[in-house]
Amino acid sequence: MISCLYFWYHINFAYSSFKTFCLVPSYLHSLLPIVTYHWVSSDTENFVDTQVPFLPSVEVLVKALVVISPAVLAGSPNACVQILFCSHHPFLVGSAKRNAVWKRLQKCLQKLGFDPVGLLTANVADLCKSLLGMKGLMSSNNLEQEAAINSLSTLMSIIPGDTYAQFQKHLIDLPDRFEHDALSENDIQIFRTPEGMLSSEQGIYVAESVAAKNVKQAKGRFRTYDNDDSLDQVKSNHSGRWDPPSKEVGGVGKKDAAKSLKKTEKAKTAKEEARDLQLREEACIREKVTGIQKNLSLMLKALGEMALANPVFTHSQLPSLVKFVNPLLHSTIVGDMAFETMVKLSKCTADPLCNWALEIATALQLIVTEEANVLLKLFPPVAEAEVNGGPAVGLFERVVNGLSISCKSGPLPVDSFKFIFPIMERILLSPKKTGLHDDVLQILFLHMDPILPLPRIRMLSVLYHVLGVVPAYQASIGPALNELCLGLQPDEVASALYGVYAKGIHVRMACLNAVKCIPAVSNCSIPQNVEVATSLWLALHDPEKSVAEAAEYVWDCYRYDFGTDYSGLFKALSHDNYNVRVAAAEALAAALDENPDTIQESLSTLFSLYIRDAGFGEDNIDAAWLGRQGIALALLSVADVLGTKDLPVVMTFLISRALADGNADVRGRMIDAGITIIDKHGRDNVALLFPIFENYLNKKASDEEKYDLVREGVVIFTGALAKHLAEGDPKVHAVVEKLLDVINTPSEAVQRAVSTCLSPLMQSKQEDAPALVSRLLDQLMKSDKYGERRGAAFGLAGVVKGLRISSLKKYGIITALREGLSDRSVL
């Protein structure tokens, strides 16, 4: 405190003898650190000392700073950091505006020939570094933190460009931001746990140890005072007589005391030591999270105050500032401060939109933190909006109302539009039309200027979505898409083609028509790009002919070959929309037709993707069946381009993997793919394929259910292959015998498949028909097993279908069935 007294003495002396101080600038320069340390950086408690008779008034402090600053700057221009900091300290500012002292000091300095703004501009990097450092914003002293924020705000109002550049650089390199993102749920739980308690113990009731008090005490003359409460009670009873204990009792007491002392000194148990260790570890984590919370909160607070200090400049930086604040809105440790900062940023939007700052910030926070189904409940339904027709009352209604009022005189400035666009985007991305759609679209249509730097890709994407949800908007959205595409750059063509993956035909057509308006497309100067090629190649093979024809124009403007990168096509095979999966399958087949050398590698990729997707199912939920269906569609489409060497690989895959697929749709499409391949290549490859089927049918079942599924498919494949045999081919007899053997499988699906396969083979078995019918009738009437009798019935049905209806009478089938019905032993 001696130095403080020394300082106050010189303050008064300086105020009364300004000229004298000006003559000794080196002496004054040595006083400024005393000002900073003993006066400004201390809190109120530092001044409470019996040796200090009083605190100078704010006016005295301000005048002292005004007197000292010129001499200090004359001796050391770098001292402007300390002068700026001191002039914004709460002790000097008091109840005035935070820059009031600085303005007063600035005028005095200018009168004495100094250029305060020039000094700040020349030292802006050092100023920001100091103000954002441990002696400024990151100080442990709240007053110093506030002084730093005030100083930064003033800098923002004087030299906003340089100040923001330094501040943004600090934001980008802020370690706490990355550490915050790396925090685990366990870290957050520990942070919320009180000191001295384990996070695993939070919420668990720990009973107090009251065993000693619950022990039933002896009464009367058998009672002994062997506990502290009883002893204290006796000692406190001054009116009664207290006899000291006997020597024996005293001796026992000493022994008990020694024992209790040993127990207290005894080492902790392993469980207690483990708990203490865990407490120390959690304390370290809690300290770390607390530090992250403090630093991020201070940065957010400084950001908000700096934004309000120069709202005009901040408006131009809103898109970049939001990138820092927006991800922190859902933070569990700094979310509240991030929201306060977002409110302040919202106040920097264009007038009069800034009047809805609180609503805008709240909506932005909800978009980040809430799920889509929760937000949908906040949007008014169409019916309600049409019926009520009154003023908006909901949050998003108020925001849209504010937007409509703000856009009455024309479109918003670009930066305000970018700031508010996520709210409009979230409304339009709802899965159904809301009562806000019409108003939001009208606002969106005002912002289509091809020159302005708008978020065009996101606007295109949201309009594609709206068009898919509400086809009635086609007349208004189509021209808007065209106008948006007029401002797209060549590297944005791929993103603009996102609409070709839509479910609706009208959306895909609108997308291709809009893409034609992109200057790079109309000038045929699209750069070579895999994504562009993939999207256009898919559109060329769209199942809808009109879409494929529209894509031909854009493809001709691309002027490059598709190439051999099929990664986009493989990805599209698992797309949510069926039309995209079909288009991807056809597009892959066309690409393989142009590049036959890539067939084997592509097949290998398809098989690997199937194996990957087959392992995604959990808890009876098949999450990846769409991808496996897409692979089945691809195998069906590539049937024409497969070579002889590819057939065994594909058929082995179908038998070993695909025919046992747990999804009936996928399994059916895999069978269709196999039949198509056999129809295309079976005639020339009977000898190659028949042994593959025969080998499997000869195997014994390890898993009956799975075996029946595969057996059914193989039987169908065998029948499809047998159709390619000549009538006199001896293999026909072998196939029929194998089918009759398989028909005994106790699976209705397998038996139906055999019945279907027998029919086309009967034209080659006309001579053996009587014996074949007799064999099946005998099994039908006399077999002891129900499954075999049912199989014979299916087989007989297939034979009759192949031999025509006349065979029922010709071979006595009707007579035999009637006799069987009358014979109760058969029934």
- Tens digits of residue pLDDT in 656-706: 999 988 888 898 899 989 999 998 998 889 889 988 988 888 877 666 667
pLDDT tens readout for residues 498-538: 999 999 999 999 999 999 999 999 999 999 999 999 999 99
Does residue 46 surpass a pLDDT of 50?
no
Asked if the model's pLDDT at residue 472 lies above 70, the reply is yes
Residue 687: per-residue pLDDT? 87
Question: What's the CA angle centered on 812, arms 809 and 816, to 5 degrees?
Answer: 130
Q: How many CA atoms lie within 13 A of 645 on its CB side?
A: 5
Task: Identify any residues that bridge with 381 across adjacent strands, giving them in sequence order.
Answer: 434
Question: Which pLDDT belongs to residue 210?
Answer: 44
Task: Look at residue 736 in the predicted model and tell me its pLDDT.
Answer: 84
pLDDT score at 588: 97
Q: Give the residue among 461, 466, 459, 429 at the shortest CA–CA distance from 445.
A: 459
Task: Tell me the pLDDT tens digit for each residue of 374-413.
Answer: 888 888 888 654 444 444 478 999 999 999 999 999 999 9
Q: What is the pLDDT of residue 824?
A: 56
Backbone angles phi, psi at 381, to 5 degrees: -70, 160
d(Cα 380, Cα 452) in Å, to the nearest integer? 32
Sign of CA dihedral 628, 631, 637, 643: negative
Instruction: With beta carbons less than 8 A apart as the criterion, state whether 651 and 696 touch.
Output: no
Structure tokens at 29: 């320069």
- pLDDT classification of 259: cutoffs 50, 70, 90: low
Is the separation of the CB atoms in 149 and 137 below 8 Å?
Answer: yes
pLDDT of 40 higher than 60: no
- The predicted model gives 630-648 an average pLDDT of 95
Average pLDDT over residues 79-90: 87
How much is the pLDDT for 260?
A: 52
CB neighbour class for 814 (10 Å; exposed up to 12, middle 13-18, buried from 19):
exposed
Q: Which two tokens stand for residue 160?
A: 């906003």
Assess whether pLDDT exceeds 90 at residue 457.
yes
Chain-wide mean pLDDT for the chain? Answer: 82
Span 406-428, mean pLDDT? 96
pTM metric for this prediction = 0.79
Section 571-575 average pLDDT: 96
Of the two residues 787 and 352, the one the predictor is more confident about is 352
Gap between the Cα atoms of 79 and 28, Å rounded: 12
Smallest CA-to-CA distance from 786 within 827, 814, 758 is with: 827
Minimum mean pLDDT among 276-280, 304-308, 433-437: which range? 276-280
pLDDT at 56 over 80: no
| Sign for the pseudo-dihedral over CA of 729, 734, 736, 739 | negative
The residue assigned the tokens 């914003």 is 137
Q: How far apart are CA 363 and CA 205, in angstroms?
A: 40
pLDDT at 52 over 70: no
pLDDT tens for each residue of 703-723: 666 777 888 888 889 888 888
Q: Which residues of 773-793 are buried (b: 16+ CB within 10 A; e: fewer)?
A: bebbbebbbeeeeeebbbbbb
Q: Which segment of 12-26, 92-106, 727-741 scores lowest on mean pLDDT?
A: 12-26
Instruction: Give the range among 37-46, 163-172, 449-458, 761-770 with minimum mean pLDDT.
Output: 37-46
Length of the chain: 827
Q: Please determine, for residue 20, whether its predicted confidence score (pLDDT) is greater than 70.
A: no
More confident: 196 or 256: 196
What are the CA-CA distances from residue 218 to residues 372, 382, 494 (Å)?
A: 69, 81, 91
Q: Is the pLDDT of residue 245 over 80?
A: no
The pLDDT confidence band at residue 24, using thresholds 50, 70 and 90, is: very low
Q: To which H or E segment does residue 680 belong?
A: helix 664-681
Mean local confidence (pLDDT), 284-290: 92
Structure tokens of 498? Answer: 């996102």
Task: Please tell me which residue, 18 or 311, carries the higher pLDDT value.
Answer: 311
* DSSP output for 272-285: HHHHHHHHHHHHHH
Cis check: omega of the bond before 391, within 30 degrees of 0? no
Instruction: Convert the pLDDT of each residue in 313-325 to its tens digit.
Output: 999 999 999 999 9
633 has pLDDT over 50: yes
Least trusted range by pLDDT, from 122-136, 214-228, 329-343: 214-228
Please state the three-class secondary structure of 106-155 as a single string: HHHHHHCCCCHHHHHHHCHHHHHHHHCCCCCCCCCCHHHHHHHHHHHHHH
Start-to-end CA distance of the chain, whole Å, equals 116
Count CB-CB contacts under 10 A for residue 711. Answer: 25
CB 383, CB 432: distance < 8 Å? no
Q: Which of 780, 778, 776, 783 is nearest to 799 (CA)?
A: 776
Of the pLDDT bands very low, low, confident and very high (cuts 50, 70, 90), residue 815 is confident
Contact predicate 509/500, CB 8 Å = no
Structural tokens at position 113: 């020939």
Which stretch of 153-162, 244-253, 526-535, 721-730 has the lowest confidence by average pLDDT?
244-253
Whole-number Å distance between alpha carbons of 309 and 344: 10
Which structure tokens are listed for 430? 């709802």
Is 9's pLDDT higher than 60?
Answer: no
Question: So what's the pLDDT on residue 386?
Answer: 46
Q: CA–CA separation, 465 vs 428, rounded Å?
A: 8
Q: Is the pLDDT of residue 119 over 50?
A: yes
Distances (CA, A) of 385 to 392, 432, 443: 9, 14, 17
Whole-number Å distance between alpha carbons of 467 and 372: 19
pLDDT given at position 310: 95
Residue among 615, 636, 534 at smallest CA distance from 575 = 534
Of residues 758 and 258, the one with the higher pLDDT is 758
pLDDT confidence of residue 44: 42
Separation of alpha carbons 180 and 551, rounded Å: 47
Task: Tell me the average pLDDT across 108-113.
Answer: 86
Q: What is the pLDDT of residues 351-370, one digit of tens each?
A: 999 999 999 999 999 999 88
Percent of the chain with pLDDT over 70: 82
Measure the CA angle with vertex 671, ends 666 and 675; round to 5°.
Answer: 145
